[in-house]
Amino acid sequence: MAQQATTANANGPIYGGAANGDLTNAGTEAQRRALYLKLFSGEMFKGFQHNTIARDLVTRRTLKNGKSLQFIYTGRTKSEFHIPGQSILGNDEKSPPVAEKTITVDDLLISSAFVYELDETLAHYDLRGEISRKIGYALAENYDRRIFRAITKAARQPSPVTMSNFVEPGGSVLKVGAANSTTKADAYDSAKLVTAFYDAAAILDEKGVSGDGRVAVLNPRQYYALIQAVNSNGLINRDVQGTALQSGNGIIEIAGIKIYKSMNIPFLGKYGTDPAENTSKSNDNAGSFIGQAMDDMDAAANGGTPAGGQKTTNNYGTAAKFANSCGLIFQKEAAGVVEAIGPSVQVTSGDVSVVYQGDVILGRLAMGADFLNPAAAVELVAGIDVSANFNNTAVSNASFS
C-alpha cells in the first residue's frame, strides 16, 4: 500500500496583522518591506558607526526647523577684592567678552545603490545587507573628513573673541621634528611624535583648555609606529598589551591624550597616508584608496561646486592647504557638528520596484561642521621649515581664506 505523501511548510518571519488578528508567517508586501527597511537600516547604521570616529570626539548638536545653529563663546574674566561699602556692578573691563559662531548645514549627502531583483534571487549571500553596510561606510568617510578638516582649520585660527586688554588664545601649529627639517618622514618617527605630544599637552595646559576629552588622530602607520616602540618611548602600560594595544580604538595615551587612527585625516595633501613617503614599505596592490588625493571641499573657491562634487556651505579649505598636515591633537570644544538629518535609510517600493524590477537603497544625512574654540586644536605638520615663523614662511599653507 502506497504511503500518502506529506507536505511541509517553510517557516518564514512572523508578522502581525492577519485578518483575525493572529500572527502569520505569510505577511503582506507592505509588512515584508517594512521588515526589509529595518534590516537595511540596521546594517547601514552598523557600517556608519563602525567607520566614523569624529562624531563623538567633537561638540555635536541636532538642528530642527532651520538651516544653521549658533554657538556662543565666552572669554575669560578676572577676580578682584571687594572694597567695603562699594557697589558690585561688574568688573571695569565689562568682561567676559562674548562672541557668536554660526554653523550651517551643508547640502544633503547621499549614497545609493540599485539592487536588481534577479541578481538578488540568484545570489548565494545577503546582497542587500552588504550594500547597506557599504553605504554606511561611504557616509561615515565623508562625515569624518569634513570634521577633521574643520579641526585643522581651528588650529590655524585666532580666537573669535576679541576685546581690549583681554586677548584670548587661538589655535596652534606644531612641528614634528626639528624646526628647520624639510623631511616629511619625520611624521612617522615615533620619538619625534612623542615629543610633539608632550609639547601639545603643554600648549593646551597653558591655554587653560580642559584636560577632559583630549584626543589625537593619526594615520595608521604613525599609530603602529608608536606601538612598535611602546617599550622604549615612554608609553609602557602593563595593563594594556596584545590585541587591545593594537586595536586602534584610543588605547594608547600620551600625556593624557587618547590616540585614535583614521584614514580620513588630512595627511600631507592626501587622505590617511602618502605612499611617496613610504617607499620602503610600499603596497603596490593597495588600490586607489591608499594615498587618495584630497577632493576640495571649499565651494567658494571652486565656483560653488568643489572639485570632488560635494556642495558645502561651510569652508573646509582646498586640498592645497593640507600639504604638510600630519596629525591632529584636540579637545572636543575645538569643532562643532550640526546634524539636520542623521544617518537614515530609504528604500523604493510599489510601482517603482515593479517598473525597474528592483529597489534603490539610499543612505542619507545632512550635517555641517566648523571650528568652535581654536585654542583647543593643535595641528601637527612635517616637511616644512618653521625655524623663522610658520605663518610667515608658509602662509599659503597655513591660511584657509
80-94, 288-302, 316-330: which has the minimum mean pLDDT? Answer: 288-302
pLDDT, average across residues 51-62: 85
Closest CA to 258 of 329, 363, 341: 329
What pLDDT does residue 186 have? 92
Tally of CA atoms within 13 A in the half-sphere of 78 that contains its CB = 12
Q: Which of 92-101, 233-242, 251-260 has the lowest mean pLDDT?
A: 233-242
Mean pLDDT of the chain: 75
- Residue 176, pLDDT above cutoff 90: yes
Q: Confirm whether 370 is domain-assigned.
A: yes
Residue 233, pLDDT score: 59
| Residue 112: predicted pLDDT | 76
Number of domains in the chain: 1
- Is 126 inside a domain boundary? yes
Residue 26 binned pLDDT confidence (cut-offs 50, 70, 90)? very low
**pLDDT value, residue 253:** 82
24 in a structural domain:
no
pLDDT at 393: 38
CATH of the domain at 117: 3.90.1690
Residue 86 lies in a domain: no
For range 366-375, the mean pLDDT:
89
**Closest alpha carbon to 107 in 299, 373, 370, 362:** 299
**pLDDT per residue over 316-333, tens digit each?**
888 888 989 999 999 998
The reply to whether 10 falls in a domain is no
Backbone torsions φ then ψ of 225, nearest 5 degrees:
-65, -40
How far is residue 69's CA from residue 339's CA, in Å, rounded to a whole number? 10
pLDDT tens digit string along 102-134?
Answer: 888 888 888 877 776 776 665 555 666 777 788
Confirm whether 61 is domain-assigned. yes
- Bigger pLDDT: 362 vs 310: 362
Query: Model pTM?
Result: 0.78
pLDDT tens-digit map of 257-274: 999 999 899 999 888 777
Between the two ends of the chain, the Cα-to-Cα distance in Å is 92
Least confident window among 70-79, 153-162, 196-205: 70-79
Cell of 250: 584610543
Q: Higher confidence at residue 61 or residue 398?
A: 61
Percent of the chain exceeding pLDDT 70 equals 64
The answer as to whether 374 is a domain residue is: yes
Which range of 35-49, 67-81, 117-131, 132-146 scores highest in mean pLDDT? It is 132-146
Domain-located, residue 88: no
Largest distance between two CA atoms of the chain: 116
Selection from 62, 71, 113 nearest residue 366 by Cα: 62
Asked if pLDDT for residue 342 goes beyond 60, the answer is yes
pLDDT at residue number 367: 87
Domain that holds residue 261: 29-74+96-279+293-398
Q: Which residue has the higher pLDDT, 117 or 282?
A: 117
